[in-house]
Chains A and B, each alone.
Chain A
């Protein structure tokens, strides 16, 4: 840092003197009157073909730099969205420990406001064709976000969030008063987002067993079975990248939930034999 200021120190002009002389010497040799700046000087000494390459590639460099910088900004913002969405998920999962679900949703709502700020930031980079261009960098954050609000919708209304609902959540009023989604959500983003849900639903299910909330366990199992059915349909088309990895997570979540429900049922039956009061509702598969 201490080396930077000397550019403005008075004795600096002395340092430049020899350089200037060197320049004027070259200029004399090439019969030029004007004293060009450093890069221009460099250009003067080049052959015409080399000069052309230099000009072209300087332009290309600027284009590539702009592209790489933009990609970097998308990656960073996407990562921030992922982190905050994870926080929303964890707040929502605390629902089994809180006395009232409202406080949990209120907490999630305040975090959701922050996520929207991040989406506002990323939307600048994802206008027009850039949405697809940087989709691969933006999609991890978006998926995590869909997972978070998907869990929210499941806990609050026991439904699978639809793509329209996701877009609605992402909508804010623009400067012209028109309410529009901040970013576009492709089918792939949506599918990959909701296929992350089973892991979280399973976590909620296990927590609920601990709390003895049998109705919640039943809802989880129903939800996972329907997810499994739906995602299997999509697998037939088989064009979504990375979906198969998520399906194996879904399968293991489903199995864990089924085993949990099973051992809960067994224990309840034992209790009943002992004359205790049962709260388990027998599972109706197609309910």
Chain B
């Protein structure tokens, strides 16, 4: 038996672990940028709807930075090896998508489409189950991001009452239940998507409670 076989293998593994380190660094940077953007975006909870525009404008440079971080990551990973390392950045990319989804909702009160994600992050969302030849955001990551929106919405419903906007919870409720009905169409397996899907109902409940409080006091009809 020749030990050379193992030495060759070791060389290849070493190369791989160097790449892993680089990817890890890129992800660390991405996470940092996302946290900053998230802090800026969270201010939308404390202002009336009329002022959200300024917050969206203020957060725009952060999205530029996130986009740059992702392009660094894209440059590191060869498309062939995409799924090999995919688990490493999946969470970070989910967070970035969730920021886009929230920003689009604040700005336009609508659901961010895969096209929106691509526009903000410069990376295509793969909504098909097919062969890929480029770095993509997976459908699961996009759906995870949409689920993250529910907790933001339930917070927003409460906070809009605080800033004296008692119409908004109604709007939020309609939007959230429409989106939830979409998720109910999916045949989910027993994975993380399923577990997070199961938690949506608690956010829906919170939004409904706000509406109940307003209605029972005759503040809305």
Contact = CB atoms under 8 A, between A and B. Distances in A.
Given A60-B143, A187-B13, A230 B111 contact: no
Nearest to B142: A60
B178 A49 contact: yes
Interface residues of B, number: 44
A11 interface: no
A129 B140 CA distance: 17
Contact of A47 (B131, B178, B182): B178
A150 to B, nearest CB: 11
A281 B132 CA distance: 58
B110 interface: yes
A61 B111 contact: no
A64 interface: yes
Interface string A186-215: 110011000000000000000000000000
Contacts of B5: 160, 162, 230
Contacts of A61: 185-187
Is the contact region of chain B dominated by helix, strand, or loop, or is it mixed? helix
A53 B181 contact: yes
A132 interface: yes
Contacts of B143: 60
A285 interface: no
A66 B186 CA distance: 12
B133 A63 contact: no
Contacts, number: 112
B10 interface: yes
A129 B131 contact: yes
Contacts of A57: 182-183, 185-186
A64 B186 contact: yes
A191 B186 contact: no
A64 B163 CA distance: 40
Contacts of A223: 1
B13 A53 contact: no
B76 interface: no
B131 A63 contact: no
B187 A65 contact: yes
B120 interface: no
Interface in A148-185: 159-160, 162
B12 interface: yes
Interface in A31-90: 47, 49-50, 52-54, 56-61, 63-68, 70
9 contacts: A53-B179, A56-B182, A60-B139, A63-B128, A64-B140, A70-B129, A129-B80, A129-B131, A187-B13
Interface of B: 1-3, 5-7, 9-10, 12-14, 16-17, 20, 79-84, 110-111, 113, 127-129, 131-133, 139-140, 143, 174-175, 178-179, 181-183, 185-189
